[in-house]
Structures are given as structure tokens and as C-alpha cells.
Amino acid sequence: MMIDARILIVDDEDRFRQSVARLLGEDGCLADETSNGLDAISKLVASDFDVVLLDMNMPGLSGEETFREIQAHGFDVETIFLTGRASMNDAVRLLQQGAYDYLLKPVSMDAITRAVRRAMQKKLMRHGKIELAKMLKETALD
């Protein structure tokens, strides 16, 4: 269980986005979704989220451009990139710029869930919610 984690899934592939939202919902998350970066920024302005799953390649704002907007607005989220285009340079650069993780598609739903759990643990620890982070870690081991 994810302790009511609020997750925003941003991906232009409808099936993938909906599958991830359903999976995370079954794991106890409150998942919202959108197909593009502009809508993602609007949703982040309107609601608090804990983790953003962000596709790199989208029409309009790319994932990287959306990430820069997230940072410019100062949203308190952990960002996990998803991409079908493997680039070590992109991964290193984005992680150095503050992204939490960088996952390559095709990616298993289990890998997504684990990454989201770890990102939530990091956010909880950053906010001093150590007991909740420990509980989340223990449930991840089950």
C-alpha cells in the first residue's frame, strides 16, 4: 500500500498511461493522468502530487521541457522519467538535474511500482515523515 500517494502519469500512449494508472490505483495510490506536458503543469498547479511519471517523447512540450517547468514552478514532486529511447547522456543529465529515476520502455509494471515506492520514501524522508517511510519500505518487502 502506498500511503495515499498522489501520482501524475504523463504519457501520450493512452493504453500505457491507463494501465499504469490502474496498476498504481490497485496498489493504493491516487493516480491521475494526462497525455501532454501542458496539461500536466495545469494539473500540478491545481492539485498536490507526490510523484510524476513523465514520458520523454511527447508532442508539444517534451518530457524534458515539462521537467524544466516543474522545477521552475517549484512543485514538491519526485519525477521519474519513462522513455523508449535509451540515452545514457540523457539519463545522467536528468538525474544530475534532480530527476529521481529514469526507466526504459518497455518497462515492467513491477519496476514502475518499485520506482514509485522508492520515490515516495524519498519524499517522506525529506519531509521528516520517517515512520511513514519505514512503513512503506516494509510493505515493499512483502
Q: What is the pLDDT of residues 25-50, one digit of tens each?
A: 998 899 999 999 999 999 999 999 99
> How many angstroms separate the CA atoms of 85 and 49, rounded?
26
pLDDT reported for residue 139: 62
pLDDT reported for residue 133: 64
pLDDT reported for residue 110: 94
> Is the Cβ–Cβ distance between 44 and 19 less than 8 Å?
no
Q: Which three cell numbers stand for residue 113?
A: 511500482
Superfamily of domain 6-141: Response regulator (3.40.50.2300)
Rounded to whole angstroms, the maximal C-alpha distance in the chain is: 41
Q: For residues 70-89, give the mean pLDDT.
A: 93
Q: Distances from the Cα of 138 to the Cαs of 1, 2, 104, 141, in angstroms? A: 10, 11, 26, 5
Decide if pLDDT at 129 tops 80. no
pTM score:
0.89
Q: Distances from the Cα of 79 to the Cαs of 82, 120, 141, 142, in angstroms? A: 10, 10, 23, 25
pLDDT reported for residue 136: 64
- Give the confidence band of 17 by pLDDT, cuts at 50, 70, 90: very high
> Is the Cβ–Cβ distance between 11 and 39 less than 8 Å?
no
Least confident of 47-51, 62-66, 84-88, 108-112: 84-88
Residue whose grid cell is 520514501: 121
* Count of alpha carbons within 13 angstroms of residue 18, beta-carbon side: 3
Decide if pLDDT at 106 tops 90. yes
Q: Which three cell numbers stand for residue 93?
A: 543529465
> Is the Cβ–Cβ distance between 8 and 32 less than 8 Å?
yes
